[in-house]
Amino acid sequence: MIDSGPAAKIVQRGVTTWTLRMSSPDRLRPVRADVPMRVERSQVPSIDLSRALYAAVGSRVCWTDRFAWDHETWEAWVNRDTMATWIATVRGTVAGFFELEAQPGGAVEIVLFGLLPQFYGQGLGGALLTACVENAWRGGVDWSPGAGPTSHVFLRTSTLDHRHAVRNYLARGFETAEAETADKPVPDPRLAPWPLPRDPRLVPASDL
């Protein structure tokens, strides 16, 4: 049950948002995982699977926006030709996923990216991001043939994301294209299926 008291209210907090960009596949600095990890594109659109992945990965990093999506919104999202999802598994267990969207002009956005919490700290983040970027550069060839060749890859992240997220992106070769700090509404983390380990509305971003 969600508490309706003061602690459950949306809180305004200073949040820094970065737009990161990679302008050439030669900029990628790949890294491979010591742990055997398989990364495979999900070729059968599934509303239930996409929502479950969103909840599982986002449960620690305040992903809550899509919990307001209705069935029709999810269905429209997963069935678009310009969007594709890849799932990472380790010894048969889902370890993480990423979503790519081909956009006009050859841009490919990394819309979502992350690991399930039990796979943190195993050196998988850099390897999964490597696979993510490699597949992003193959957009228009392998998974979104109508989009044309990829011109650049970009993503948006913020201080609400995992504390090592920006470091991982920069280490793989992304560059900061834009940064902005502004007060933004941070939702009650208990809207997620499990409580966050710490409330991102109340603690400094550096402690998340």
Could you report the per-residue pLDDT of 13-62, keeping only the tens digit for each?
Answer: 888 999 999 999 999 999 999 889 999 999 999 999 999 999 899 877 87
Strand-pair partners of 153: 22, 108
pLDDT of residue 136 exceeding 90, the answer is: yes
Query: CA-CA distance, 7 to 64, in Å (whole number)?
Result: 17
Domains of the chain (ranges, CATH numbers): 13-207 (3.40.630.30)
Token pair of 129 as six digits: 């991001």
Strand-pair partners of 112: 99
Mean pLDDT of the chain: 86
Which of residues 85 and 188 earns the better pLDDT score? Answer: 85
The average pLDDT across 114-130 equals: 94
Query: CA-CA distance, 106 to 56, in Å (whole number)?
Result: 30
pLDDT in tens, 192-208: 554 555 666 676 655 54
On the 0-12 / 13-18 / 19+ scale of CB atoms within 10 A, 127 is buried
